Amino acid sequence: MQRPIKKAIFPVAGLGTRFLPATKAMPKEMLTVVDRPLIQIAVDEAREAGIEHFIFVTGRNKSVIEDHFDKQYELESTLRKRGKSVELEILEQDLPAAGQTSFTRQQEPLGLGHAIWCARNIVGDEPFAVLLPDMVMHAKPGCLGQMIATYNERGGGNVIAVEKVGLDQVHRYGVVGAKDWRGNGFTIDRMVEKPRAEDAPSNLIISGRYILQPEVFDEIQAQTPGAGGEIQITDAMIRLMARQPFHGLAYEGTTYDCGDKLGFLAANVAYGLERDDLGPEFRTVLQKIISEHGGRVTWKGE
Ligand code: UTP
């Protein structure tokens, strides 16, 4: 019987250089899709999948994330005085229960693998999930929920969510080889970090959600820095593949890479259009901008 997935790591210690200057003093993970911070969207997905312990690997400038998952008494009492019950309810719903969060620091941004390893003592000896908050997975049920279903169906092991991209894109990502497809799930028989198109085993990229067995921590520990001088999680997984099964899931949904400006803008448009309170008006505004300016906004005084 496979062990249940109750803990999730959120690596949030990256520098977010692609989003400077927005990320100079503010963590990338607090950027919002409409009005919800990326980190809150990822935590919502994990809660919906049954996660009970949320582990944040933070770095310098990231204490605002800790504050975000804490009570704000002054704010709450002001909202109460002003009769803002809807806003109060949202704040309450978004908050994990007392004792469900842990924060640890990655003292230097040495790569995603290293960030995950920093959480090893909090995770202990049990399988766990990893969610990269800047990858927003728009899916129902959520991507991690779909992965846990695959994990249960396949009797445990490691599970990675993948997404199809054009072959001209594969050099930017970790890429997997797939065999024994069943529904959207398959067995991973190869994994390559940032391959050239001609060397790629497929066009299925690793897209920001993982279920991993605790043995991966030993593999990370044994590692010397790989591509870009960073400790990559893909290198550790490649070694773990020699002794444990890895399953892939082409999850049903859309990925928005919100660490990238174009992905971030696309996510805001998609989520904005979907909102009951904003969608219809937002659609009209967007159509107007595109038809009047061909997408170009003319500033006053230009
Ligand atoms: P990215 O590859 O997007 O790196 O990290 P980054 O530093 O955040 O952003 P850019 O590329 O400079 O713009 C993917 C995820 O891994 C975390 C990031 O916070 C992000 O959630 N990460 C990355 C760490 O926690 N530590 C690291 O050393 C690197």
CATH code of the domain in which 75 resides: 3.90.550.10
Segment 125-137 shows an average pLDDT of 97
Label the pairing between strands 7-11 and 128-131: parallel
Structure tokens at 116: 């995950």
Query: Does residue 1 form part of some domain?
Result: no
Element (H, E) at 143: helix 143-153
Question: What φ, ψ does residue 9 adopt, rounded to 5°?
Answer: -100, 135
Query: Does residue 2 form part of some domain?
Result: no
d(CA 196, CA 280): 43
Label the pairing between strands 185-193 and 128-131: unpaired
Q: What is the Å distance from ligand 1's center to 109 Cα? A: 8
Is the per-residue pLDDT at 140 higher than 70? yes
Query: Does residue 116 form part of some domain?
Result: yes
DSSP 98-123: TT-EEEEE-SS---HHHHHHTTHHHH
Q: Among the atoms of ligand 1, which is closest to the Cα of residue 108?
A: 28
Query: Does residue 125 form part of some domain?
Result: yes
Higher local confidence (pLDDT), 179 or 230: 179
Q: What is the Å distance from ligand 1's center to 130 Cα? A: 13
Write down the pLDDT at residue 302.
39
Query: Does residue 158 form part of some domain?
Result: yes
d(CA 88, CA 24): 30
Write down the pLDDT at residue 301.
43
Q: Among the atoms of ligand 1, which is closest to the Cα of residue 23?
A: 13
Write down the pLDDT at residue 11.
96
* Residues 242, 277 within the same domain: no
Chain centroid to CA 119: how far? 16
Residue 271, amino acid: Y
Q: What is the Å distance from ligand 1's center to 283 Cα? A: 32
Q: What is the Å distance from ligand 1's center to 29 Cα? A: 10
* Residues 50, 179 within the same domain: yes
Residues with CB under 6 A from ligand 1: 11-19, 28, 57, 106, 109-112, 114-115, 132-134, 259
Write down the pLDDT at residue 181.
94
* Residues 237, 280 within the same domain: no
Query: Does residue 15 form part of some domain?
Result: yes
Q: What is the Å distance from ligand 1's center to 266 Cα? A: 20
Measuring CA to CA, which residue among 56, 57, 59, 64 is closest to residue 26?
A: 64
d(CA 273, CA 280): 7
* Residues 198, 141 within the same domain: yes
Write down the pLDDT at residue 211.
98
With tokens 């975000």, the residue in question is 68
Q: What is the Å distance from ligand 1's center to 89 Cα? A: 32
* Residues 280, 146 within the same domain: no
**In whole numbers, what is the pLDDT of the chain averaged over residues?**
92
Query: Does residue 265 form part of some domain?
Result: yes
With tokens 């204490």, the residue in question is 63
With tokens 């159509």, the residue in question is 287
By percentage, how much of the chain surpasses pLDDT 90?
A: 75
Is the per-residue pLDDT at 49 higher than 90? yes
* Residues 141, 249 within the same domain: yes
* Residues 146, 290 within the same domain: no
Is the per-residue pLDDT at 295 higher than 70? no
Write down the pLDDT at residue 297.
57
26-40 pLDDT, tens digit per residue, is 899 999 999 999 999
Residue located nearest, by CA, to atom 18 of ligand 1: 14
* Residues 153, 277 within the same domain: no
Measuring CA to CA, which residue among 181, 96, 134 is closest to residue 10?
A: 134
Is the per-residue pLDDT at 145 higher than 60? yes
* Residues 177, 272 within the same domain: no
Domain residue limits at 73: 7-259
d(CA 229, CA 235): 12
Number of domain units in the chain: 2
* Residues 125, 193 within the same domain: yes
50-89 pLDDT, tens digit per residue, is 999 999 999 877 789 999 998 888 888 888 899 898 888 8
Query: Does residue 91 form part of some domain?
Result: yes
239-278 pLDDT, tens digit per residue, is 999 999 999 999 999 999 999 999 999 999 999 999 999 9
* Residues 206, 252 within the same domain: yes
Write down the pLDDT at residue 225.
72
Residue located nearest, by CA, to atom 9 of ligand 1: 16
* Residues 197, 161 within the same domain: yes
Total-model pTM: 0.93
152-197 pLDDT, tens digit per residue, is 999 999 999 999 999 999 998 999 999 999 999 999 999 998 999 9
CA dihedral (186, 187, 193, 195) in degrees, to 10, reads: -70
Segment 84-104 shows an average pLDDT of 89
